[in-house]
């Protein structure tokens, strides 16, 4: 087990890459950003936009998957106002959308866009989410299939030439070993860690048929036969970071969590540093539970993610980041846990029994029988 020598990201992240000096792929990307000819990248982006406008067989030049959050707001405004594209936005509505999530997607619609909202059959989604909890300890897995695929399906159906997604995790998380790569091609989304096991896994569930899963997968061959291009926007823009996207989107009405949000309830810092706890993962409380489960499975949760981002963006130093991770990582309000248990119809005892089955080998019991995270022992 090891920790990145630059940020504090552990090698327990699936697909993570480290170089021979012990530096993770995310840090290597930030180093590479200083060497890139961003003017040439932006020129390439404008050429792609021009190509889309000249080659569309649709009413729309591009399609963009959106939640109403900081990144999708920046994507939509940039595509329309900077690139001059006529955009169709596709919103996957998560199960149990939050009040602030509803406000943000309505705000984005009201910026002046056509929007298609997609919500797979909620009875089927509940079955899938329950299945993923017990099989993978990943209750957001099915929602990510639908989140990604719905945009590609609409693109195919409407004969739109260009798909615009936000950031390539192979770059920003350093998870290039998942197969998604480090280039600009977002047609590779099917190779993301969560999606790579395949949607057909759900056919083993009683009561689920292939026709129930239409919105959970896209036909890449069909898109390629139509010469559709798909791009990660962060590949082309120098000014792309979580903090910058939040500040950009606030100018267009995007709302964050209140600063008085209890950081112990969401497992990340809120009133310190750049306040990432206020602007990440706002549209469903399911993500808070999933981050707790990620912490149990891999030894890190969203506080670790946020701290690493902020180190790279110069908003925290390493010592500050380590302190925050040890304070908040893996924390989750019991209200979120109970809400999730009620949703899939299990007891909290079943929840914790199941979670323990997936506890990663970075966890060791001390003399008092308490679990200790050996990832934290490496944080120096």
Q: Whole-angstrom Cα distance, residue 333 to residue 263?
A: 10
What percent of the chain has pLDDT above 90? Answer: 77
Confidence band for 273, pLDDT divided at 50, 70 and 90: low
Residue 245, domain member (yes or no): no
Q: What is the largest CA-CA distance in the chain?
A: 68
The residue range of the domain holding 307 is: 256-377
Same domain, 201 and 291: no
Output the pLDDT for position 276.
Answer: 77
Enter the DSSP assignment of 93. P
Same domain, 158 and 194: yes
Output the pLDDT for position 318.
Answer: 93
**Which residue from 255, 261, 326, 331 is spatially nearest to 292, judged by alpha carbons?**
331
Q: Token digits for 353?
A: 């029994």
Q: Which residue bears the tokens 């061959």?
A: 221
Same domain, 230 and 273: no
Residue 5, domain member (yes or no): no
Same domain, 160 and 104: yes
Q: Whole-angstrom Cα distance, residue 283 to residue 265?
A: 16
Residue 191, domain member (yes or no): yes
Q: What is the DSSP string of 263-296?
A: HHHHTS-SSSTT-GGGTSS-SBTHHHHHHHHHHH
Same domain, 153 and 302: no
Output the pLDDT for position 89.
Answer: 98
Q: What is the mean pLDDT of residues 131-135?
A: 97
Residue that terminates a domain, selected from 235, 264, 287: 235
Output the pLDDT for position 176.
Answer: 62
Same domain, 274 and 149: no
Q: Which residues contact 310 (CB under 8 A, 6 or more apart)?
A: 243, 273, 274, 276, 316, 321
CATH number of the structural domain spanning residue 217: 3.40.50
Q: Number of folded domains in the chain? A: 2
Same domain, 228 and 272: no
Same domain, 134 and 196: yes
Same domain, 84 and 224: yes
Q: What is the pLDDT of residues 294-328, one digit of tens each?
A: 999 999 999 999 999 999 989 999 999 999 999 99
Output the pLDDT for position 331.
Answer: 96
Output the pLDDT for position 272.
Answer: 66
Residue 3, domain member (yes or no): no
Confidence band for 46, pLDDT divided at 50, 70 and 90: very high
Residue 29, domain member (yes or no): no
Q: What are phi and psi of 114, to 5 degrees?
A: -80, 135
Q: Whole-angstrom Cα distance, residue 130 to residue 41?
A: 43
Residue 15, domain member (yes or no): no
Residues 95-105 as b or e (16 or more Cβ within 10 Å = b): bebbebbebbb
Q: What is the pTM of this model?
A: 0.92
Q: Whole-angstrom Cα distance, residue 347 to residue 175?
A: 34
Same domain, 329 and 274: yes
Residue 86, domain member (yes or no): yes
Same domain, 191 and 229: yes
Nearest-5° angle of CA 199, CA 166, CA 137? 40
Give the range among 48-52, 274-278, 336-340, 376-380 with minimum mean pLDDT: 274-278
Same domain, 184 and 287: no
Question: In this model, does residue 278 exceed pLDDT 90?
Answer: no
Residue 70, domain member (yes or no): yes
Output the pLDDT for position 95.
Answer: 85
**Which residue from 186, 151, 157, 159 is spatially nearest to 171, judged by alpha carbons?**
186
């Amino acid at each position: 087990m090891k920790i990145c020598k630059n940020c504090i990201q552990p090698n327990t992240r699936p697909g993570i890459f480290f170089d021979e000096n012990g530096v993770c792929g995310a840090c290597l990307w930030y180093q590479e950003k200083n060497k890139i000819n961003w003017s040439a990248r932006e020129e390439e982006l404008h050429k792609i936009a021009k190509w889309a406008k000249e080659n569309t067989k649709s009413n729309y030049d591009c399609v963009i998957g959106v939640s109403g959050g900081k990144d999708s707001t920046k994507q939509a405004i940039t595509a329309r106002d900077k690139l001059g594209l006529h955009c169709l936005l596709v919103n996957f509505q998560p199960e149990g959308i939050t009040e602030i999530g509803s406000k943000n997607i309505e705000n984005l619609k009201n910026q002046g866009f056509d929007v298609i909202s997609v919500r797979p059959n909620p009875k089927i989604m509940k079955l899938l989410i329950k299945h993923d909890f017990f099989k993978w300890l990943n209750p957001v897995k099915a929602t990510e299939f639908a989140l990604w695929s719905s945009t590609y399906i609409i693109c195919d159906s409407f004969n739109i030439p260009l798909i615009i997604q936000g950031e390539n995790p192979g770059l920003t998380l350093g998870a290039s070993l998942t197969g998604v790569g480090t280039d600009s091609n977002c047609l590779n989304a099917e190779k993301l860690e969560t999606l790579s096991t395949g949607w057909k896994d759900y056919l083993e569930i009683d009561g689920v048929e292939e026709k129930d899963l239409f919105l959970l997968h896209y036909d890449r061959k069909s898109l390629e036969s139509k010469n559709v291009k798909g791009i990660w926007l962060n590949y082309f823009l120098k000014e792309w970071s979580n903090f910058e996207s939040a500040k950009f989107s606030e100018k267009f009405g995007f709302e964050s969590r209140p600063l008085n949000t209890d950081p112990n309830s969401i497992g990340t810092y809120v009133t310190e540093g750049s306040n990432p706890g206020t602007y990440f993962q706002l549209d469903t409380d399911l993500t808070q539970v999933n981050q707790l489960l990620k912490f149990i499975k891999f030894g890190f949760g969203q506080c670790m993610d946020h701290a690493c981002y902020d180190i790279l963006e110069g908003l925290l130093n390493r010592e500050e980041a380590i302190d925050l991770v040890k304070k908040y990582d893996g924390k989750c309000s019991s209200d979120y846990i109970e809400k999730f248990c009620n949703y899939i119809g299990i007891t909290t005892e079943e929840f914790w029994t199941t979670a323990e089955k997936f506890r990663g080998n970075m966890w060791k019991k001390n003399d008092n029988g308490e679990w200790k995270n050996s990832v934290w022992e490496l944080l120096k």
